Amino acid sequence: MLWALFSDVHANEPALEAVLAAIESERPDRILCLGDLVGYGANPREVIDRVRDLGCETVVGNHDLAAVGRLDASCFNMYAREAVRWTAEQLRAEDREYLLSLPLVADAGPIAAVHGTRDDPEEFFYLQSTEHASELLEDQPLFLGACGHTHVPLTFLRVGDEVLATFAKNVDLRRCSRALVNVGSVGQPRDEDPRACFVLFDDDRRSLEIRRVEYDVESATRRIREAGLPQLLADRLWHGL
Ligand code: ZN
């Protein structure tokens, strides 16, 4: 079975359209979304409509919860807080209802999905160390863990007693007993590669592929400026920061 996984769209409609076109051409059996549909970008309603219409398994992200008032945004930086305030004003009743309906975690086939980390999904911890990944892999009920949140694609593999981290674009999973992948970000990559990111997981071949897709950054940044959102949120998209 072929799975397509994406996360952190952050209301960037041009990036989402480019990723969904790339995903469609791969004809995956199933699609998973790891949350943060909104926040930062200028098209929250359009992105929610598109993801909802996909009908794919989707977990909720911290920016989604902040936009509907279910998460205190005071710990966000000032640009993110401004985006939360603006986003909350844009959402229609059905958008709020949809975001509130999304679970914090979801199990789909061999994949255990969460936006942050499974040890405390409501805390939205950033998975950034091999030590943390080791603990998570220890308790992971399914073969592949999938998350987003850091906007940096990265895979952890448990091989024997060891846990290894890799930034490789193609990852062979045949030797590992468990794996945990951060699928990067569609709408606001932060690994200095401005291209939109998604992941293909071939369950039969036991392989992962981190895919990057060019999209119309100019259009996304113009919309952010026209919406009156902070200029920095537009500028960073050019640099993948
Ligand atoms: Zn995010």
- 50 pLDDT more than 90: yes
- The 3-state secondary structure of the chain reads CEEEEECCCCCCHHHHHHHHHHHHHHCCCEEEECCCCCCCCCCHHHHHHHHHHHCCEECCCHHHHHHCCCCCHHHCCHHHHHHHHHHHHHCCHHHHHHHHHCCCEEEECCEEEECCCCCCHHHCCCCCCHHHHHHHHHHCCCCEEEECCCCCCEEEEEECCEEEEECCCEEECCCCCEEEEECCCCCCCCCCCCCEEEEEEECCCCEEEEEEECCCHHHHHHHHHHHCCCHHHHHHHHHCC
Confidence of residue 100 (pLDDT cuts 50, 70, 90): very high
- Report pLDDT for 35: 98
- Between the CA of 30 and the centroid of ligand 1 the distance, in Å, is 22
- Between the CA of 95 and the centroid of ligand 1 the distance, in Å, is 18
Q: Which one has a higher pLDDT value, 64 or 73?
A: 64
- With 0-12 / 13-18 / 19 or more C-beta atoms within 10 angstroms meaning exposed / middle / buried, residue 30 is middle
- With 0-12 / 13-18 / 19 or more C-beta atoms within 10 angstroms meaning exposed / middle / buried, residue 90 is middle
> Quick one: average pLDDT of 200-212?
98
- Between the CA of 8 and the centroid of ligand 1 the distance, in Å, is 5
Average pLDDT of the chain to the nearest whole number: 97
- Between the CA of 168 and the centroid of ligand 1 the distance, in Å, is 21
Angle between helices 78-90 and 44-54 (to 10 degrees): 70
> Quick one: average pLDDT of 145-154?
98
Please report how many Cα atoms fall inside a 13 Å half-sphere around the Cα of residue 132, on the Cβ side: 11
> Quick one: average pLDDT of 131-154?
97
> Quick one: average pLDDT of 11-15?
98
Confidence of residue 145 (pLDDT cuts 50, 70, 90): very high
- Report pLDDT for 189: 98
Q: Kindly list the protein residues that place their beta carbon closer than 5 angstroms to ligand 1, a single-atom ion.
A: 8, 36
Confidence of residue 27 (pLDDT cuts 50, 70, 90): very high
- 75 pLDDT more than 90: no
- Report pLDDT for 33: 98
Confidence of residue 204 (pLDDT cuts 50, 70, 90): very high
- Between the CA of 186 and the centroid of ligand 1 the distance, in Å, is 9
Distance (Å, whole) CA 218 – CA 24: 23
> Quick one: average pLDDT of 75-88?
94
- Report pLDDT for 179: 98
